[in-house]
Structure 1
Amino acid sequence: MFYNAHSNSLSASITLAMHILHVYKDYFPVLGGMENHIRVVAEGLAERGHQVTVAVSNTYPKTEIERRNGVAIIKAAQWLRKASTPISPMSLPLSWRVPADIIHLHHPFPPGDLLYWLRRGKAKLVITYQSDIVRQRRLLQLYRPLLTRTLNAADRIIAASPQYIQTSPWLAPHADKCRVIPLSVDTERFNQLDHAAIQSLREQVAAPMVLFVGRFRHYKGLHFLLEALPKIPNAKLVLVGIGPEEARLRDLAQRLDVGERIVWAGEVPDQALPNYYAAADVFVLPSHLRAEAFGIVQLEALAAGIPIVSTELGTGTSFVNAHSQTGFVVPPADPAALARAINVLLENPGLRAQFGANGRQRASSTFSPQRMLDQIEELYREIVS
């Protein structure tokens, strides 16, 4: 470690620069909420004068090392991917060479635990705990001893909401060293709109527009949203994303006879995504399992100023979407409740506008990138000092 002046941060004071190693499975340009979150953290801390390295797996069997926006990125060759976990043996020897005052694991990711225990040395351990393992129960039984040991060893554990600390059987025993640091959204991005593209989208849909953005995964509850659609007259559903559930969802749409009321938008480039939010009347996150720990897409909806309908999972989803302030929170796995909430919003433009304005204010005050970076940097200094 060494003393260095911030060159591009909020503070011009002399501060202690740190070597920080982030460990996860993927990194931007791989699309995903956590991948983008790690990029914001890594680039933001690098801009503040810290030495930041990100160790991830590549998307193919070739090792690549690059530097982008002040961040060193190690992408170890991926041999295969099992249970959503990449197998990249070279990540261990490559990461051993990286100096680190802080090793920051993003959980759950078993190879990250192994990396920490094989090279921990004097580095402090910070864990961002994304979610409990819900589906891979057999994997969890194998992973349990290692996960328990790593959580016990952590100097600090970051959760994105107080609800997750209270309701997770893994975090509750470590509540004394948990810290709530919400994820963030770049609100300015949602002010940079292509109004011609927005008008084109509205003309294409030609109906009140209900929007979903995200991967089509088992826990997203999209089948419940499709089952709600017959109870939402006149509206159309725009689904932005792809994923392993797509074939089943398309089949269900045909069986429910709602296929013509769904726009399958596929993957949308990052720069075009704000136009979809701006064109929409209501955003819906219908997830029904705890694997949905936060819902970063809800932050995007807040920043875009559109009301949200989400579900109560005992996780951070209802921390982001404040019930009766920025939208409605309904029970999970309940198509009728989804339909009722969506209909209330579609039938009340004044309420939509009020919730949207509240959402913009909440995004800028509670979920700003600078506030998140300040909190993470303060946590690092707390344990290093």
Structure 2
Amino acid sequence: MRILNTIKYFEPSKGGMESVAKNLLIGIKQRRKNSKITVACNNHMKASKDRVEYYLGIKILRYRSFFLKSQPISLCFKSLNNEIKNADIVHHHYPFPTMEFALLKNIDALRKKKFIITWHANIQNSRWSWIERFYNPLIIKLLEAADEIIVTSPQLLEYSNILQIFKNKIAIIPLSFEPHNLTILPKELDQESIPKLLFVGKLRTYKGLMYLLEAINGLNVNLDIVGNGEEENNIREYIKNNNLNKVVHLYTNVNDEELVNFYKSSDIFVLPSVNEAEAFGVVQLEALSYGLPVINTNLKSGVPFVSLNNITGLTVDPANKNQLRNAILKLTSDKDLYNEFSKNAIKRSESFTNDKMVESYLNLYEN
């Protein structure tokens, strides 16, 4: 089985899509040792030429790129035609605009292969709205050529006019995580200590961290922020200007072992994202697996599908600091509710393991 995966970035680049693609391909390689897997992606670093690397038996083609409005643009897909010809299966991870144009250029070759598209996100970005007039018809043409279209949550299908056209060949395979080997008991809220909130992720505007900081200002809680990104300076400035240095702690360089300790020592996980750039929120799965109730936002994406409102946590409107504040107060004051959510969180996380995702895709690849 020869598989070509096309994705914007791949290991060691970090992110929800990259992590899931890595786990998927490693899982397939472990189960089908004779499979030949190639990944075509942008280079996550500045480079003067294309590079070929190998990672755990997986061939990686990294195309040199330049950036337009933070989006990677690559014109170096000359080798893609040969990669498609040599593959039995082509699996594309949408969105990746320049690769989508390259795939369309090879549409005749794609029609001779098993062609699968995983639709990770509905693009709802005002910066790129001008391009939709001619981009969407091209995406429809690509979707027409696909044998199967995978969405990662029911919400992606529900809120996409384009996907509604292809409902008859769409399946849902949620994103996943690698469960830890620890025995985790449900948490019990200790109302004698100061509640500890946790955020893990990139420090970007769409993550809504400024709303979270405003929500906790004046509350008797602590907040650990784990991650790095372009919003770091704004966050540090807010912390300083509002005298939150003893309340909010920012950690920008945390290894996997340290991250486990953050999950184990926290009480509530908060994902306050404000728009559908947060397509799924894989990090919620990690939090749920440690028994952390989650406060998330009611986006038209997979975010509220992962942690369920009033079952594993609370869901609030995006960009609403008052609702965030009230959700925090509710969870930290109602011990029975908190304990119930913690039990449900662990059980919910068991539905999203890598093994289940890999088996679903293998079944798709081979049948």
Q: TM-score, normalised by structure 1?
A: 0.84
Which of 56, 66, 72 is equivalent to 1:69?
56
> Does residue 290 of structure 1 match 2:276?
yes
2:205 is matched with which residue? 218
Distance 1:28 1:329, change over 3 A: same
Q: Distance between the aligned counterparts of 2:122 and 2:78, measured in 1? A: 25
Aligned-partner residue type, residue 89 of structure 2: I
Is 1:177 matched with 2:164?
A: no
Identify which of 331, 343, 357 aligns with 1:372: 357
Residues 193-208 of structure 1 mapped to structure 2, 5 A cutoff: 207-208=194-195
SS of residue paired to 2:3: strand
Native 8 Å contact 1:134 1:290 kept in 2: yes
CA contact (8 A) 1:96 1:119 kept: no
Contact 2:4 2:87 in 1 (8 A): yes
1:233-244 correspondence to structure 2 within 5 Å? 233-244=219-230
1:229 — aligned with what? 216
1:32 counterpart (2, 11, 15): 15
Q: Once structures 1 and 2 are overlaid, which stretch shifts more, 117-126 or 247-256? A: 247-256
Identity %: 36
CA separation of 1:207 and 1:24: change in aligned 2, threshold 3 A: same
Structure 1 residue 267: Cα displacement: 3.3
Q: Deviations over 1:144-179 (max 9, x none)?
A: 332222122222111111122111223222222111
Q: Within 2, Cα distance between the matches of 1:92 and 1:275?
A: 46
Matched, 1:128 2:118: yes
Moved more, 116-125 or 42-51: 116-125
Q: Is the 8 A contact 2:94 2:121 kept in 1?
A: yes
Match in the other structure for 2:188: none
Between the aligned partners of 1:274 and 1:170, the Cα distance in structure 2 is: 39
| Residues 110-137 of structure 1: per-residue CA shift (max 9 Å, x gap) | 1221232233411222111111222222
Which residue identity does 1:173 align to in structure 2?
Answer: I
Q: Which residue of 1 aligns with 2:148?
A: 156
Is the 2:122–2:156 contact (alpha carbons within 8 Å) kept by the matching residues of 1? no
2:180 equivalent in structure 1: 188
TM (norm. structure 2) is: 0.88
1:229–1:258 CA contact under 8 A, matched in 2: no
In structure 1, distance between residues paired with 2:5 and 2:249 = 37
Q: What corresponds to 2:41 in structure 1?
A: 56
Secondary structure class of the residue paired with 1:170? helix
Match of 1:19 in 2: 2
Corresponding residue SS for 1:238: strand
**In structure 1, distance between residues paired with 2:240 and 2:144:** 49
Structure scoring higher RCO (CA < 8 A, sep ≥ 6) equals: 2
Shift, 1:22, TM fit: 0.7
Aligned-residue offset at 1:66: 2.4
**Aligned alpha-carbon RMSD (Å):** 2.1
For 1:378, the aligned partner's letter is N
Q: Match of 1:209?
A: 196
How far does residue 95 in structure 1 lie from its aligned partner after superposition? 6.0
CA distance in 1, matches of 2:273, 2:173: 22
Residues 102/327 of structure 1: CA separation in 2 closer, same or farther (3 Å cut): same
8 A Cα contact 1:53 1:71, kept in partner? yes
Judge conservation of contact 1:24–1:105 (CA < 8 Å) in 2: yes
Cα distance, 1:168–1:34 mapped onto 2, change above 3 Å: same
Quick one: structure 1 residues 344 and 36, their matched pair in 2 at CA, closer, same or farther if it must change by over 3 Å?
same
Task: Write the mapping of 1:328-347 to structure 2, written as runs, cut at 5 A.
Answer: 328-347=314-333
| 2:76 equivalent in structure 1 | 90
**SS of aligned partner of 2:166:** helix
The equivalent residue for 1:12 is none
Q: How many residues align?
A: 349
Q: Corresponding residue for 1:146?
A: 138
Name the residue aligned to 2:158.
166
Partners of 1:42 and 1:183 lie apart in 2 by 13
Cα distance, 1:89 vs. partner?
Answer: 3.1
Correspondence for 2:263: 277
